[in-house]
Protein backbone atom coordinates (compact mmCIF):
# COMPACT_ATOMS: atom_id res chain seq x y z
CA UNK A 1 0.00 0.00 0.00
CA UNK A 2 1.21 3.48 -0.76
CA UNK A 3 3.17 5.14 2.00
CA UNK A 4 1.81 8.30 3.58
CA UNK A 5 4.60 10.65 4.59
CA UNK A 6 3.91 12.08 8.04
CA UNK A 7 7.52 13.14 8.61
CA UNK A 8 8.49 16.04 10.80
CA UNK A 9 7.47 19.33 9.26
CA UNK A 10 5.23 17.53 6.74
CA UNK A 11 2.16 16.84 8.85
CA UNK A 12 -0.97 17.45 6.83
CA UNK A 13 -4.68 17.23 7.30
CA UNK A 14 -5.43 15.45 4.02
CA UNK A 15 -9.17 15.46 4.66
CA UNK A 16 -9.05 19.27 4.44
CA UNK A 17 -6.44 19.79 1.73
CA UNK A 18 -7.21 16.81 -0.50
CA UNK A 19 -10.71 15.50 0.30
CA UNK A 20 -10.78 13.25 -2.77
CA UNK A 21 -7.28 11.83 -2.41
CA UNK A 22 -6.30 8.22 -1.69
CA UNK A 23 -4.92 9.37 1.67
CA UNK A 24 -8.27 10.80 2.70
CA UNK A 25 -10.08 7.68 1.51
CA UNK A 26 -7.89 5.59 3.82
CA UNK A 27 -8.88 7.73 6.80
CA UNK A 28 -12.49 7.56 5.66
CA UNK A 29 -12.32 3.77 5.74
CA UNK A 30 -10.91 3.89 9.27
CA UNK A 31 -13.80 6.16 10.22
CA UNK A 32 -16.25 3.64 8.77
CA UNK A 33 -14.61 0.76 10.64
CA UNK A 34 -14.96 2.69 13.90
CA UNK A 35 -18.68 3.05 13.20
CA UNK A 36 -19.02 -0.68 12.60
CA UNK A 37 -17.16 -1.45 15.81
CA UNK A 38 -19.60 0.69 17.80
CA UNK A 39 -22.81 -1.04 16.70
CA UNK A 40 -23.20 -2.72 20.10
CA UNK A 41 -21.48 0.02 22.10
CA UNK A 42 -21.83 3.77 21.80
CA UNK A 43 -18.40 5.31 21.06
CA UNK A 44 -18.95 8.96 21.88
CA UNK A 45 -15.43 9.65 23.16
CA UNK A 46 -12.68 8.32 20.88
CA UNK A 47 -9.05 8.33 22.03
CA UNK A 48 -6.03 8.18 19.71
CA UNK A 49 -2.70 7.07 21.18
CA UNK A 50 0.58 5.39 20.19
CA UNK A 51 3.61 3.73 21.74
CA UNK A 52 6.05 6.60 21.15
CA UNK A 53 6.00 10.15 19.82
CA UNK A 54 6.03 11.04 16.10
CA UNK A 55 4.08 8.03 14.86
CA UNK A 56 1.41 10.17 13.11
CA UNK A 57 -0.94 9.96 16.10
CA UNK A 58 -1.95 13.62 15.96
CA UNK A 59 -2.33 13.57 12.18
CA UNK A 60 -4.65 10.58 12.51
CA UNK A 61 -6.73 12.29 15.21
CA UNK A 62 -7.08 15.49 13.17
CA UNK A 63 -8.13 13.70 9.99
CA UNK A 64 -10.66 11.56 11.83
CA UNK A 65 -12.08 14.68 13.49
CA UNK A 66 -12.63 16.40 10.15
CA UNK A 67 -14.34 13.34 8.68
CA UNK A 68 -16.47 12.98 11.81
CA UNK A 69 -17.58 16.61 11.45
CA UNK A 70 -18.81 15.74 7.98
CA UNK A 71 -21.22 13.23 9.52
CA UNK A 72 -21.99 14.57 13.00
CA UNK A 73 -23.36 18.04 13.67
CA UNK A 74 -20.93 19.03 16.43
CA UNK A 75 -17.52 17.42 16.97
CA UNK A 76 -14.86 18.37 19.53
CA UNK A 77 -11.15 17.60 19.08
CA UNK A 78 -9.20 17.80 22.35
CA UNK A 79 -5.42 18.05 22.67
CA UNK A 80 -4.54 16.05 25.78
CA UNK A 81 -0.91 15.55 24.79
CA UNK A 82 0.01 18.25 27.29
CA UNK A 83 3.76 17.67 27.15
CA UNK A 84 3.98 17.92 23.37
CA UNK A 85 0.83 19.59 21.99
CA UNK A 86 0.61 20.01 18.23
CA UNK A 87 -3.04 20.17 17.14
CA UNK A 88 -2.92 23.96 17.09
CA UNK A 89 -0.02 23.86 14.64
CA UNK A 90 -1.80 21.55 12.20
CA UNK A 91 -4.91 23.72 12.19
CA UNK A 92 -2.85 26.93 12.34
CA UNK A 93 -4.68 28.34 15.34
CA UNK A 94 -3.49 29.88 18.59
CA UNK A 95 -2.88 27.73 21.65
CA UNK A 96 -4.65 29.72 24.32
CA UNK A 97 -7.56 29.18 26.72
CA UNK A 98 -7.13 25.44 26.35
CA UNK A 99 -7.44 22.36 28.53
CA UNK A 100 -5.33 23.58 31.43
CA UNK A 101 -7.12 26.94 31.48
CA UNK A 102 -10.65 25.59 31.33
CA UNK A 103 -9.93 23.17 34.17
CA UNK A 104 -8.78 26.01 36.41
CA UNK A 105 -11.94 27.98 35.69
CA UNK A 106 -14.06 24.84 36.02
CA UNK A 107 -12.97 24.67 39.66
CA UNK A 108 -14.38 28.17 40.18
CA UNK A 109 -17.58 28.04 38.13
CA UNK A 110 -18.50 24.37 37.89
CA UNK A 111 -21.50 23.64 35.67
CA UNK A 112 -21.99 27.38 35.08
CA UNK A 113 -18.76 27.53 33.10
CA UNK A 114 -19.13 29.03 29.62
CA UNK A 115 -17.25 26.51 27.48
CA UNK A 116 -17.57 28.65 24.34
CA UNK A 117 -14.72 30.84 25.66
CA UNK A 118 -12.28 27.95 25.30
CA UNK A 119 -13.24 26.07 22.15
CA UNK A 120 -12.30 27.32 18.68
CA UNK A 121 -14.52 26.71 15.65
CA UNK A 122 -12.62 25.50 12.59
CA UNK A 123 -14.07 27.01 9.42
CA UNK A 124 -13.20 25.36 6.13
CA UNK A 125 -15.10 24.63 2.90
CA UNK A 126 -14.44 20.92 3.34
CA UNK A 127 -16.04 20.78 6.80
CA UNK A 128 -19.77 20.27 6.38
CA UNK A 129 -20.88 20.68 10.00
CA UNK A 130 -19.14 22.11 13.08
CA UNK A 131 -15.67 21.09 14.22
CA UNK A 132 -14.38 22.65 17.43
CA UNK A 133 -10.86 22.39 18.83
CA UNK A 134 -9.82 22.60 22.47
CA UNK A 135 -6.06 23.14 22.49
CA UNK A 136 -3.77 22.11 25.35
CA UNK A 137 -3.62 25.63 26.76
CA UNK A 138 -1.12 27.17 29.16
CA UNK A 139 1.95 25.04 29.88
CA UNK A 140 1.82 23.10 33.13
CA UNK A 141 4.41 21.40 35.32
CA UNK A 142 2.02 18.63 36.34
CA UNK A 143 0.36 17.16 33.21
CA UNK A 144 -0.21 13.73 34.74
CA UNK A 145 -2.06 15.18 37.74
CA UNK A 146 -4.29 17.18 35.38
CA UNK A 147 -5.08 14.22 33.15
CA UNK A 148 -5.75 11.98 36.15
CA UNK A 149 -7.97 14.53 37.89
CA UNK A 150 -11.67 14.13 38.59
CA UNK A 151 -12.17 17.61 37.13
CA UNK A 152 -11.16 16.46 33.67
CA UNK A 153 -13.41 13.44 33.86
CA UNK A 154 -16.36 15.62 34.92
CA UNK A 155 -15.59 18.14 32.19
CA UNK A 156 -15.72 15.46 29.52
CA UNK A 157 -19.11 14.37 30.87
CA UNK A 158 -20.31 17.95 30.37
CA UNK A 159 -18.85 18.00 26.86
CA UNK A 160 -20.90 14.91 26.02
CA UNK A 161 -24.03 17.01 26.40
CA UNK A 162 -22.79 19.61 23.90
CA UNK A 163 -21.10 17.47 21.26
CA UNK A 164 -22.08 14.46 19.19
CA UNK A 165 -18.55 13.10 19.30
CA UNK A 166 -15.32 13.90 21.15
CA UNK A 167 -11.94 12.88 19.73
CA UNK A 168 -8.90 12.98 22.02
CA UNK A 169 -5.31 13.30 20.88
CA UNK A 170 -3.59 11.51 23.74
CA UNK A 171 0.02 11.37 24.84
CA UNK A 172 1.96 8.24 23.79
CA UNK A 173 1.19 5.30 26.08
CA UNK A 174 4.50 3.48 25.85
CA UNK A 175 6.75 6.05 27.52
CA UNK A 176 4.41 8.03 29.77
CA UNK A 177 1.53 7.25 32.09
CA UNK A 178 -0.32 10.23 30.57
CA UNK A 179 -1.60 8.23 27.61
CA UNK A 180 -2.77 5.41 29.84
CA UNK A 181 -4.99 7.58 32.06
CA UNK A 182 -6.35 9.41 29.02
CA UNK A 183 -7.36 6.14 27.39
CA UNK A 184 -9.48 5.34 30.44
CA UNK A 185 -11.52 8.51 29.80
CA UNK A 186 -12.67 7.28 26.40
CA UNK A 187 -15.25 4.80 25.17
CA UNK A 188 -12.76 3.43 22.68
CA UNK A 189 -9.11 3.83 21.71
CA UNK A 190 -7.33 3.71 18.35
CA UNK A 191 -3.68 2.68 18.58
CA UNK A 192 -1.33 4.22 16.00
CA UNK A 193 1.88 2.40 15.08
CA UNK A 194 4.63 3.63 12.77
CA UNK A 195 5.85 0.88 10.47
CA UNK A 196 9.33 -0.31 11.42
CA UNK A 197 9.77 2.05 14.34
CA UNK A 198 8.92 -0.10 17.35
CA UNK A 199 9.71 -3.66 18.28
CA UNK A 200 6.52 -5.65 18.06
CA UNK A 201 7.10 -7.04 21.56
CA UNK A 202 7.01 -3.52 23.02
CA UNK A 203 3.86 -2.59 21.14
CA UNK A 204 2.16 -5.82 22.19
CA UNK A 205 3.08 -5.14 25.79
CA UNK A 206 1.64 -1.62 25.76
CA UNK A 207 -1.62 -2.67 24.11
CA UNK A 208 -1.96 -5.62 26.50
CA UNK A 209 -1.46 -3.30 29.46
CA UNK A 210 -4.20 -1.01 28.20
CA UNK A 211 -6.54 -3.93 27.66
CA UNK A 212 -5.81 -5.27 31.15
CA UNK A 213 -7.01 -2.05 32.77
CA UNK A 214 -10.24 -2.09 30.79
CA UNK A 215 -9.35 0.14 27.84
CA UNK A 216 -11.48 -0.69 24.82
CA UNK A 217 -8.98 -1.07 21.95
CA UNK A 218 -10.97 -0.59 18.75
CA UNK A 219 -8.15 -1.18 16.31
CA UNK A 220 -4.64 -0.49 15.09
CA UNK A 221 -3.62 2.06 12.49
CA UNK A 222 -0.30 1.30 10.83
CA UNK A 223 1.36 4.44 9.44
CA UNK A 224 4.33 5.24 7.17
CA UNK A 225 4.11 1.86 5.49
CA UNK A 226 6.70 1.38 2.70
CA UNK A 227 5.47 -0.17 -0.54
CA UNK A 228 7.82 -3.12 -0.19
CA UNK A 229 6.17 -4.22 3.06
CA UNK A 230 2.95 -5.98 2.09
CA UNK A 231 2.13 -8.18 5.07
CA UNK A 232 3.31 -6.05 7.97
CA UNK A 233 -0.20 -5.16 9.06
CA UNK A 234 -1.32 -8.77 9.10
CA UNK A 235 1.55 -9.57 11.47
CA UNK A 236 -0.11 -7.45 14.12
CA UNK A 237 -3.47 -8.90 13.24
CA UNK A 238 -2.36 -12.44 14.02
CA UNK A 239 -1.52 -11.45 17.59
CA UNK A 240 -4.78 -9.58 18.16
CA UNK A 241 -7.20 -11.86 16.37
CA UNK A 242 -10.79 -11.12 17.46
CA UNK A 243 -9.56 -8.27 19.66
CA UNK A 244 -8.76 -5.47 17.27
CA UNK A 245 -9.49 -4.43 13.73
CA UNK A 246 -6.72 -2.85 11.69
CA UNK A 247 -6.15 -0.38 8.89
CA UNK A 248 -2.89 0.16 7.08
CA UNK A 249 -2.10 3.74 6.10
Q: What is the pLDDT of residues 49-99, one digit of tens each?
A: 998 888 899 999 999 999 999 999 999 999 999 999 999 999 999 998 999
Domains present along the chain, CATH in parentheses: 14-27+43-248 (3.40.50.300)
For residues 203-229, give the mean pLDDT. Answer: 82
pTM, two decimals, is 0.85
Task: Find, among 69, 48, 54, the residue nearest to 11 by Cα.
Answer: 54
Torsion of CA 227, 238, 205, 229, to 10 degrees: -10
Q: What is the pLDDT of residues 148-181, one digit of tens each?
A: 999 999 999 999 999 999 999 999 998 778 989 9
Work out the angle between the directed axes of helices 99-109 and 150-162 (0-180°, nearest 10).
Answer: 90
Amino acid sequence: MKKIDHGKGKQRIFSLDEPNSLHTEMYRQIRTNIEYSSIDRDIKVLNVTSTNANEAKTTTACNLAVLSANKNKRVLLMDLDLRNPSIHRLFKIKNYNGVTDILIDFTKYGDKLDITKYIQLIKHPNIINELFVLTSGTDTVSPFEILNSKRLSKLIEIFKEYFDEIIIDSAPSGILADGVVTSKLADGTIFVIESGKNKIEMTQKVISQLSNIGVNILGIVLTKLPNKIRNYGSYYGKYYTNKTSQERI
